Amino acid sequence: MFLILSVYIGLFFLYPIITTPLIMIPLTYRFKYSKIFLILFVLGISLITLRYIPFPTDDGAYHYKAAYLYQSYDSIFEWFSYLMSKDIPTEYGYYNYPLFGLLLYIFSNTGTYSLISFVVCFTVYYLYSSIILDIFQKSNISKWLFLVGFIIILTFVNIRYTASGMRYALAVSITVSLFYKEIRGGFSINKSLFYYLIPILIHASSLIFVLLRILFPLLKNDRIYKKILVLFTFPVLSIVLPVFNINNGYFSFLVEKFDSYQITENYIVLFKWSDLVYVYVGALISVIFIVYYHITLRFQKNEKLKNFYKLVMYVCLLTLSVSPFLTLLDRFVWFVYPLVIISVLLFIASDTEGTSKIKGNKYFISYFMLILCFVGTIIWNRNFLEFLRLLDYNFIEILTKNVYEYFSDLHQFSLSEVVRR
């Protein structure tokens, strides 16, 4: 197997894009080099982001502008001082996202800021795919089901939005990964909660899901009134929050964001039909998962897995609570898709009762949810061709350039590439 790995590595460095799909073959075998193959695969699907040149109004252009401005600070301490005093003229208040600001600062002196998009895309792809690989290696699910789950969760990553927006995609992937890792500990109150500061300091929108995780020990007994309380969380907040006039900086920032996201008219022009399909399919998946939890998943004998399903059920309830607000719903379904995919695979992997026919009938809803996840994410990713037009490689070059060439002569950013807001 080491010889096969060596051959793959050699081919990968010569023709990474062509070789990458072939790496899925060795991934279907449970052996010690699987993580190396996974890293190669994720590297391969992330490489094209190195050639990304943001459209002037892309979020990526404004993030690159911030990185460009950060290079004028001699030390990280000087940069942090100016950042937190709000003295750096950027379009986004990175003092509210200091960890993401730190990532921009780390690459600020390179001038080649597509490296930031590459690092973010690599991290997001790796976190999601490593979860699916871990489920496969620790269970007896078939190779085909592994490949289906693997492809669907990678399809969920919209490379156009991830390479440009970066913050939210990164925060969601880290939070989902932390949820998965907490299955072993049963979601108790422990030191692992400190890790949730990472996604919060990357994007504040992850805070509501972190709060759900913190409060989860109080929700474990699964009473109906608690579900109703979660379901009506945001309608109640939309009424209550405007009554309070709290001048705390960070809290005021969160309230302001929440208020702006409630006004759908501010953002509806940004939604394409594919975005709307993705959002409403995600809402439908939430409804189906809640029903599926109550008729099947809550009878899971493994308490640790049942706690995970229960957490996902509450995420789905929270998602439905923001259904009147399209922009918030768009944010929340980013959590629904990967968590439902993971839950379905975990359920099938852990289910050992019944004959093949009985299992087939029992899994019908599971497979149906996977199909919905695939349809929703495929339609959402129709902007992939639009993303390819923002690369400085043509189609033939994308396929034939080697790894060294992908990292060579990267685009040098200038302020003229950004449209001022």
What would the pLDDT profile of 111-164 be if each residue is shown by its tens digit?
999 999 999 999 999 999 999 999 999 998 999 999 999 999 999 999 999 999
pLDDT at 216: 93
pLDDT at 325: 83
pLDDT at 360: 59
Q: Where is average pLDDT lowest: 41-45, 91-95, 172-176, 256-260?
A: 256-260
The pLDDT of residue 275 is above 90: no
Q: Which is more confidently placed, 271 or 397?
A: 397
Q: Where is average pLDDT lowest: 128-132, 169-173, 410-414?
A: 410-414
Q: Where is average pLDDT lowest: 59-73, 76-90, 256-270?
A: 256-270
pLDDT at 268: 58
Mean pLDDT, range 63-88, rounded to an integer: 92
pLDDT tier at 240, thresholds 50, 70, 90: low
The sign of the CA dihedral 254, 259, 262, 267 is negative
Q: Which is more confidently placed, 372 or 274?
A: 372
Per residue, what are the HEC states of the chain? CHHHHHHHHHHHHHCHHHHHHHHHHHHCCCCCCHHHHHHHHHHHHHHHHHHECCCCCCHHHHHHHHHHHHCCCCCHHHHHHHHHCCCCCCCCCHHHCHHHHHHHHHCCCCCCCHHHHHHHHHHHHHHHHHHHHHHHHCCCCCHHHHHHHHHHHHHHCCHHHHHHCCHHHHHHHHHHHHHHHCCCCCCCCCHHHHHHHHHHCCCHHHHHHHHHHHHHHHHCCCCHHHHHHHHCHHHHHHHHHHHCCCCCHHHHHHHHHHHHHHCHHHCHHHCCHHHHHHHHHHHHHHHHHHHHHHHCHHHCCCHHHHHHHHHHHHHHHHHHHCCCCHHHHHHHHHHHHHHHHHHHHHHHHHCCCCCHHHHHHHCHHHHHHHHHHHHHHHHHHHHHHHHHCCECCCHHHHHHCCHHHHHCCCCCCCHHHCCCC
Could you tell me what percent of the chain has a pLDDT over 90?
65
Residues 6+ apart with CB under 8 A from 90: 62, 65, 66, 69
The pLDDT of residue 299 is above 60: yes
Average pLDDT value over all residues in the chain: 89
pTM: 0.93
CB neighbour class for 368 (10 Å; exposed up to 12, middle 13-18, buried from 19): middle
The pLDDT of residue 256 is above 60: yes
pLDDT at 249: 61
pLDDT at 278: 93
The pLDDT of residue 359 is above 60: no
CB neighbour class for 218 (10 Å; exposed up to 12, middle 13-18, buried from 19): exposed
pLDDT tier at 389, thresholds 50, 70, 90: very high
| Distance from chain centroid for Cα 330 | 13
Residue 69, CB half-sphere, CA atoms under 13 Å: how many?
20
- Bridge partner list, 52: 391
Q: Which is more confidently placed, 270 or 132?
A: 132
Mean pLDDT, range 56-82, rounded to an integer: 92
The pLDDT of residue 260 is above 70: no
The pLDDT of residue 254 is above 80: no
The pLDDT of residue 235 is above 80: no
The pLDDT of residue 208 is above 60: yes
Q: Which is more confidently placed, 269 or 304?
A: 304
